[in-house]
Amino acid sequence: MSTSASTQVAGVYHRRLGDALVTGLSDGYVDMGYTIFRNIPEEETKAILARDHRTSPPRISVNAFAVRMDSRTYLIDCGSADLMGPTCGRLPENLAAAGIDPASVDAVLLTHVHPDHSNGLTDAATGTRLFPNAEIIVHENEINHWFNDEAMAKAAERPRRRYFEAGRTQLKPYMAADRVKTFRKGEVLPGGHGDPDPRSYPRPRRLCRIARRRINGGLG
């Protein structure tokens, strides 16, 4: 691993976790306003944020995590690309700052298929896979829901476009290349391309929890 891959820069936060180098990567942020809090008066929301010394109105960070271990590179989520405004879509430049070539990513482990977690998979305009050698690892319930035509037909226009259609646009090029692997709750993830060992991929939610817990004071 090159020296530059572990150099600390803005938007990139490295932390050793056993044999793994876990890197928090900022994709940017979104100023959400108070309407994201339901069934609570705005004044009460402001008071709670002030009491806990939180940014008000709330600013939501959009982050991904890279895990490098045993000569493999895993990416947990992949940011929002240009879907969530000009303050997001910074993952590609921060991957470069961390010394990670998208072509070197072995797997992208999606915690779920919401656009701030999956919209950085594919160039929507060209259908090009932005991680050309990666397998996409995702829970089967995510595929079953977002590719359910009946559920999409019942959705309002905005969530249909922003969630169902965007998710399909991002995943279909990988499906066409047989690069999407699904798993069930409690199941060990399938082995990587060319690697028959079913233990070759860590479980994405567990890795994400560990990364968030260990990178205290870094990216949230």
The pLDDT of residue 32 is 85
116 contacts 62 by C-beta, under 8 angstroms: yes
Mean pLDDT over each residue of the chain, to the nearest integer: 84
pLDDT band at 3 (very low <50, low <70, confident <90, very high): very low
Find residue 62's DSSP bridge partners. 28
The pLDDT of residue 209 is 53
b (16+ CB within 10 A) / e for 91-120: bbebbebbbbebeebbbbbbbbbbbbbbbb
The pLDDT of residue 195 is 42
* DSSP E strand stretches across the chain: 12-17, 20-31, 59-69, 72-76, 107-109, 122-123, 128-129, 135-139, 180-183
Helices (H), the chain: 42-51, 91-97, 115-118, 140-146, 149-154, 157-159, 166-176, 204-214
**What is the spatial distance between Cα 189 and Cα 207, in angstroms, rounded to a whole number?**
13
Choose the weakest-confidence range: 77-86, 101-110, 164-173, 201-210: 201-210
State mean pLDDT over 196-219: 45
CA atoms within 13 Å, Cβ hemisphere of 192: 16
The pLDDT of residue 11 is 85
**What is the spatial distance between Cα 149 and Cα 100, in angstroms, rounded to a whole number?**
36
The pLDDT of residue 189 is 53
What residues have CB less than 8 Å from 141, skipping those under 6 apart? Answer: none
**Which tokens hold the place of 62?**
């959009």
Q: Taking 60 as the threshold, does the pLDDT of residue 148 lie above it?
A: yes
**Which tokens hold the place of 129?**
């896979």
The pLDDT of residue 215 is 41
The pLDDT of residue 192 is 43
pLDDT band at 65 (very low <50, low <70, confident <90, very high): very high
State mean pLDDT over 120-136: 96
